[in-house]
Structures are given as structure tokens and as C-alpha cells.
Amino acid sequence: MSRINDVGGMVGFPAIAEEPDEPAFHADWEAHVLALNAALIRRGVYNLDEFRDAIERMEPAAYLSSSYYEKWFTAITTLLVEKGVATPEELAVPGTDPGG
Amino acid sequence: MSGDHHGSSAISERVRHVEALLEARGLVDEGEIDRSIDDFLAGGSPVNGARITARAWVDPGFRDRLLADANAAIRELGLSMAGGLQEQRLKVVANTEDEHNVVVCTLCSCYPIALLGPSPSWYKSEAYRSRVVRDPRGVLAEFGLELPAGTRISVWDASAESRYMVVPRRPEGTDGRPEEALAALVTRNGLIGTAAV
């Protein structure tokens, strides 16, 4: 059974867009997401396979509409809740919807 | 999609909030985050893949060792696939007159960052991941690489434990050039297989 990340051979995606002189990160938050993930794995909060799994079991529509590092951030917050580190309410910016 | 960048301030604020929460709980510290970002940006570069390629072009013995056991061979150049969160198995494949190789990670974004630097967004896009395994010749043509109809194309699908790198063909007319000059000819896309050198 394949999940939404298993796109090899799937038809319907658009042409490939190359970005000349592309930077490693397009915004500071992307770099912070990468570093937060590495820190949490080093601390043993979760491991690399659990992280990949948390991306790959994203709801398909959310997976396809999220940018690369948005997927990473979704996986991090999913795992922080599942591992009992924080509640969805604590992870949400005050005044915003914890589901968002 | 995965190749896009949603630069909204909302997610920026959410990431800052979660980072502050984790700092408050002692799970991360600010210095560690900054060091981690610096290490990532300094940790890998296509210069490394280019050095490996140039050595393989000038030294047939190294080329043989590289294709047989890349993890061991790149240690001869002081390089390693063990710098990340876990050591990765490396397989290096070499283009020939009859065969062209190209690398993808259909499931996500696995990529030899130590040898090629941070991966480009197109490599992580669903468009590239879905299409290059179905129509590699067409995709390579979109990159400007028109291969003769008789050239066989092998597509290598990376995984969590395995990474691939392509040794492009040495250009004609480069006999006698020093290794450093040869390395300067090698591009990142050449090492992925979406360009010739």
C-alpha cells in the first residue's frame, strides 16, 4: 500500500521548474526547522525514521499543498504531541487555532 | 508542492513560537540551533563531488575502487558519508558512451549532501520525483540534455540508507589538463545526471 509521498511514476504533475542560483533556504524559518529537527533527533525525542514516517503519513491534500520545510514542521509538531512533549494548544501561537 | 516556498509570516511566527517553547523546556538552545545551521551550510558542496569526479577521470585505479566501494574510495580524498545523523551507503555510477545515469529520490529527498551541497528545490519536487522514473529521456531533454536514442538510461532511486552520485563523462579535448582544472568543469547537475559536462 503506497502513501502520498510515493509519487514515482504518478502522472499529472507539472513541468520541472529550475531556480537559477537558488539559495539553500528561502527564509530563515526554513533553516530553523532544519536545525530544530536535528536537535530533537540528537536529544532522542524521536528518531530519523519516525520523522520520515511523520511526513509520509500526512493527510494527502495537506502533503501536496505544503512546501518542503512546511512538511518538516508538520512532522516535528506531530511528533512533539505524540511523544508527550507538548500539547497542540501549547504549540499553537497564542490567539490562533491549534489545528492550524 | 514540495518544490514551492510559502514565505508567509504565519509559519515564521509558528516556528519561532515552537523553538521558544522547546528552549524553555531545555530541549534545544539557541547557540545549538545557530551552530547547526552554520554546519549544514558549510558541510557539503558540489566541489567535493567534482573532486571525486576529476580524480576518477585521471586515475583509472581510483575509478575502479570508487565504482566498487564508494564509501571507502572517497575516504582517500578525506571525504565521508558519516557526517550527518547516520552514515549513508554511497554508490557511484559512471556515465559511458552507451549508458547515462540519473539520480532521484521518489519517496522524498534523499541526496548526497556531503558531496553535492544542499539539494535544489526541483530535486525535491513531486514533478521531478514522479516524472523522471516514467519518462527519463523526456525529463532530461527539459534540462537541455538531449541523449542519442541508442543511449541507455538508468535511473537510481535513493532511499533512507543509500545515496547515489553520477560521474559524468570526461569532455573531449581535455587530455593533459590538471586535476583541479578538470574539477572546475563539473557541475552539480552533472553529478545528479541532469546535465552533461
How do the domains of chain B map onto residue ranges?
9-42, 44-192
* First-last CA distance in chain B: 30
Q: Is B162 helix (H, G, I), strand (E, B) or coil?
A: strand
Tell whether the model's pLDDT for residue B64 goes beyond 90.
yes
Residue A3 lies in a domain: no
CATH number of the structural domain B44-192:
3.90.330.10
Active site residues of B: 105, 108-110
Residue A63 lies in a domain: yes
Number of domains in chain A: 1
Chain A residues touching B31 at Cβ < 8 A:
none
Domain hosting A69: range is: 48-83
Query: pLDDT-based confidence at B160, cuts 50/70/90?
Result: confident
Q: Which of residues 68-87 of A touch B (CB under 8 A)?
A: 68, 70-71, 73, 76-77, 80, 85-86
Q: In which band, very low, low, confident or very high, does the pLDDT at B63 lie, cut at 50, 70 and 90?
A: very high
Q: How far is CA B10 from CA A43, B14, B124, B151, B173, in A?
A: 27, 6, 23, 48, 54
Mean pLDDT of A7-18: 91
Domain assignment present for residue A29? The answer is: no
Interval B11-15 mean pLDDT: 96
Are residues A4 and A64 in contact, defined by beta-carbon separation less than 8 angstroms? yes
Look at residue A15 and tell me if it is in a domain.
no
Report yes or no on A59 lying in a domain: yes
Residue A24: inside a domain: no
Does residue A70 sit within a domain? yes
- B187-197 pLDDT, tens per residue? 999 999 999 99
- Using CB atoms within 10 A of its CB, is residue B132 exposed (0-12), middle (13-18) or buried (19+)? buried
Nearest chain B Cα distance for residue A72, angstroms: 11
The answer as to whether A4 is a domain residue is no
Across chain B, which distance is largest between two alpha carbons, in Å?
61
Which residue in A35, A66, A77 is closest to B37 by CB distance?
A: A35
